[in-house]
Chains A and B, each alone.
With several copies, the nearest count.
Chain A
């Protein structure tokens, strides 16, 4: 059965290590054809890789749960949300890991907005002409 009305591009992968690369690869295909420069394509791949890796490593709940990656293609930027249906977390939990540091350094904006329906939701923005 169809989910709710589709207005977005949504990619769903199992929350398992060997599927993270699939999300990266498909993201790359999108970013490259959206004509981001090569460095920016790699930045976007890396950020999606880090966010999905965190979902696999930190989200509790059934192993076969999904990670949802939502792409919002706007005229001047690409917005990506990575949602894992786990327990969520907030900025204070971040500790001294590298994942979020890297996401923040390669994307123009990274925001964590968790909720009971989504678990962790990491929202990332890459500007068309961003750094």
Chain B
């Protein structure tokens, strides 16, 4: 009936994949996030920016996927950045200590600029 999660995936340049998510990331939708990310990685992305501006719910299921992607990319010299999380989602990163692990950007422009360096 409803679409819990919508995903837009694209490359910015040759090495940076951007995932724009909207809706809810939970146990039922987390695999879609992983799969979309894997596709970007298969297409050449060495780093990922995950835009959470439109994400209204996320829990440890989502954090788990992001941690997994980060391990995979960091090993190959890349990274995973979080973009524009809503305040409650940002607090989730803090609560779980992952604000120390993921760079969190206020907007995509700043994130891309840093990724380009």
Report which of A34, A39, A106 forms a contact with B2, defined as CB distance below 8 A. A34
Size category, B interface? 10 to 19
Report which of A18, A73, A75, A128 forms a contact with B28, defined as CB distance below 8 A. A18
Q: Which of B14-22, B43-51, B56-64, B109-117 contacts A (4 or more CB under 8 A)?
A: B56-64
Report which of B1, B59, B63 forms a contact with A49, defined as CB distance below 8 A. B59
Complex Cα–Cα for A102 and B95 (A):
7
Size category, A interface? 20 to 34
Task: Report yes or no: A24 in contact with B57, Cβ–Cβ below 8 A.
Answer: yes
In whole Å, how far is A59's beta carbon from the nearest beta carbon of chain B?
13
B96 contacts the other chain (CB 8 A): yes
Task: Report yes or no: A75 in contact with B60, Cβ–Cβ below 8 A.
Answer: no
Complex Cα–Cα for A76 and B60 (A):
28
B74 contacts the other chain (CB 8 A): no
Q: Give the interface of B toward A (CB within 8 A).
A: 1-2, 4, 24, 26-28, 57, 59-61, 63-64, 88, 92, 95-96
